[in-house]
Amino acid sequence: MNAAARHAQRYERVARLMPLAEWDAHFEAIAAVEALKRERNAVVLAHNYQRPEIFHGIADFQGDSLELARQAARSTADVIVMCGVRFMAETAKLLAPGKTVLLPDLEAGCSLAESITPGDIRALRARHPCVPVVCYVNTSAAVKSECDACCTSSNAQLVVESFGAPEVIFVPDEYLAAHVAAHTSVRIIPWQGHCEVHERFTGQEVREYREASRAYVLAHPECPRDVQDAADYVGSTSGMIAALGRERPERAMLITECSMADNISGAFPDTEFLRPCNLCPHMQRITLAAVRASLESLRPAIEIPDSVAVGARRAVERMLDLGRPRGP
């Protein structure tokens, strides 16, 4: 199938979001990225919050943080383009150290990753000696290198309980920590980091919208506790997709980043997706133009010094090992 036919076929996935003329305006950039991918032997990984033209136009794999990390670890490409934020690109580099990992805009950060430093982890350890430290994947590689294990929103409880310890330090997301604490007997020692996108939702607005629309409500665990309490389902971005697949609701409200509902609406033609939602300014920095420039120049490439990479990789691999089937 040639590029034009492929482009026309993909329109089905975004037809609910944009007129054909808008999709066609992306054709030249999408075709250029596809050609560069072949030339560079590159793979494009896209988080569920990416713009629809990236998610449906150029991504080879889409998913939540855990799925993208797994894809990076098993990729055979020479170049990985992370259409996501910096901590995701760093995680990919930790798992695929021999590959070129591109983050098309280095300014694509994360308020959670900014909320804690390696020094903070050392201070927590001094205050709570012998207590294991679990860090959310939304942290810098330098912070990961100080922690015992990393987790994502889809395996946080599993990772916390894997230590068999009575208490665990869990950083940096206070609300994800509260979500885990509500589902485990392990005492959680939290940090006060927040996601600037999810902390803006309130329980009252969710209850009001829900009352007015009778929608099925799905919230990300980075939302405040009262928002989680007002939701029918709380889980990672891919967990939300799976829950929608099971429930097939007539109306759904995804209390998370706006692109998420846009990206999946084509797969759920019988579901009406309602607001509220908030945009992540960091995810939005990744554009087709930035991906194209990055594949042309092979920059900006992520580099992690060995002094950080060894410990950070251990923390990420401990998490991935928990999800692997055990041998006989």
Question: Between residues 36 and 72, which has the closer beta carbon with respect to ligand SF4?
Answer: 72
Task: Report the Cα 182 to chain-centroid distance in Å.
Answer: 22
- 33, 42, 44, 48: residue in contact with ligand 13P (rule CB under 6 A): 48
Rounded to whole angstroms, how far apart are CA atoms 328 and 319?
A: 20
Instruction: Establish if 148 lies at the interface with ligand SF4 (CB under 6 A).
Output: no
Instruction: Establish if 237 lies at the interface with ligand 13P (CB under 6 A).
Output: yes
Question: Between residues 198 and 313, which has the closer beta carbon with respect to ligand 13P?
Answer: 198
What is the rounded (10 degree) CA torsion for 121, 177, 49, 112? -30
Instruction: Establish if 280 lies at the interface with ligand SF4 (CB under 6 A).
Output: yes
Rounded to whole angstroms, how far apart are CA atoms 167 and 113?
A: 23
Question: Residue 70 is inside which H or E element, if any?
Answer: helix 65-74
Within residues 178-217, the interface with ligand SF4 by CB under 6 A covers 195-198
Instruction: Establish if 45 lies at the interface with ligand 13P (CB under 6 A).
Output: no
What is the rounded (10 degree) CA torsion for 312, 314, 317, 321? -150
- 111, 115, 138, 155: residue in contact with ligand 13P (rule CB under 6 A): 138
Encoded tokens for 111: 């308020």
- Please give the single-letter amino acid code of residue 169: I
Q: Is residue 61 a contact partner of residue 45, using CB atoms and an 8 Å limit?
A: yes
Q: How far is the CB of 280 from ligand 13P (least distance, A)?
A: 7
Q: How far is the CB of 149 from ligand SF4 (least distance, A)?
A: 19
Q: Is residue 168 a contact partner of residue 186, using CB atoms and an 8 Å limit?
A: yes
Over the window 174 to 203, marking each residue x when it contacts ligand 13P by CB under 6 A and - when it does not, the resulting string is: ---------------------x--------
Instruction: Establish if 255 lies at the interface with ligand SF4 (CB under 6 A).
Output: no
* Angle CA 137–170–226, to nearest 5: 95
Instruction: Establish if 153 lies at the interface with ligand 13P (CB under 6 A).
Output: yes
Question: Between residues 43 and 195, which has the closer beta carbon with respect to ligand SF4?
Answer: 195
146 binds, among ligand 13P, ligand SF4, none (CB under 5 to 8 A by kind): none
Instruction: Establish if 71 lies at the interface with ligand 13P (CB under 6 A).
Output: no
Instruction: Establish if 177 lies at the interface with ligand SF4 (CB under 6 A).
Output: no
Long-range contacts: 79-82, Cβ < 8 Å, 24+?
A: 79/40, 79/41, 79/42, 79/43, 79/295, 79/298, 80/42, 80/43, 80/45, 81/37, 81/42, 81/43, 81/44, 81/45, 81/291, 81/294, 81/295, 82/45, 82/302
Beta-ladder partners of 254: 218
Instruction: Establish if 96 lies at the interface with ligand SF4 (CB under 6 A).
Output: no
Question: Between residues 90 and 222, which has the closer beta carbon with respect to ligand SF4?
Answer: 222
50 binds, among ligand 13P, ligand SF4, none (CB under 5 to 8 A by kind): none
Question: Which residues here bind ligand SF4, judged by CB under 6 A?
Answer: 85, 110-112, 138, 195-198, 222, 257, 280, 282-283
Q: Which residues bind ligand 13P (CB under 6 A)?
A: 48, 64-65, 138, 152-153, 195, 220, 222, 236-237
